[in-house]
Amino acid sequence: MSGPGGGVHLEPTSVMVTSHLAGDEVVALIVSVAISQATPYMPFAAGAERALAKIQAALPRRRVEELQRFMQRVLVGDPAPRSAHRDAHRIHKDLVSRFEEAFTRTRMLGFGYIDREGATTQRRVEPHGLLLRAPLWYIIAWDPEKEAARLFRADRIAKPRVLEATFAPRPHDLVVGVCPDGLPAGWPVSA
């Protein structure tokens, strides 16, 4: 439908989903719903949850279980403190796509990392989780070199690259255990 000025206008009461959604599109919807659940003042949050329930009902049970396991690795926490907003930097242009690929395909992720003191290190990690604390986001990872779970703030990552090496997903206890302030709001994200 055309709207004023020739732009596209969607009438919410007449939209039908007639095509299949790709896996990353379903995950994007689930993440969006999780964010709206964690921030209940968001308009249309209840409608987003109902729409997601309808999508889930249309998926095969195996696919729903797979998405539920996947979403146990995505946490939505409280918004980042104001002090974190002040020192936030621009996220590397390739990070989002590289993280999505490594995270969904269980591939190792390599990058340069600048810690809060300004020291730079080269990292090679297993990206096991994602923590969203608007407007910031973090990679929850296992660092095989340090043999420990680590949290990497996205805006401190440089030159990300997906590596050939794969890894087996670890239990979600690793994902929760590395998060600051204990369990973030909205855990677990139910899919």
Least confident among 35-39, 51-55, 65-69, 135-139: 35-39
Question: Hey, which residues does 142 pair with through a beta bridge?
Answer: 126, 149
- 114-128: pLDDT as tens digits: 988 899 999 999 999
> How much is the pLDDT for 46?
73
Q: What is the mean pLDDT of the chain?
A: 76
* Distance in angstroms (rounded) separating the CA atoms of residues 100 and 102: 6
Mean pLDDT of 42-64: 77
Please say if the pLDDT value at position 7 is more than 50. Answer: no
Please say if the pLDDT value at position 180 is more than 60. Answer: no
Residue 162: CB atoms within 10 A of its CB come to 19
Please say if the pLDDT value at position 3 is more than 70. Answer: no
Please say if the pLDDT value at position 62 is more than 80. Answer: yes
Question: What are the residues whose beta carbons fall under 8 Å from the beta carbon of 10, sequence distance 6 or more?
Answer: 1
> What are the Cα distances from residue 150, in Å, to 74, 92, 108, 126?
15, 19, 14, 10
* E strand intervals along 51-119: 74-76, 107-114
Domains and CATH numbers, the chain: 15-74 (no CATH), 82-177 (2.30.30)
Q: How far is CA 29 from the centre of its chain?
A: 11
> Residue 45: enclosing H or E segment and its boundaries?
helix 45-58
> How much is the pLDDT for 106?
92
Instruction: For residue 101, name the pLDDT band (cuts at 50, 70, 90).
Output: very high
* Distance in angstroms (rounded) separating the CA atoms of residues 16 and 14: 6
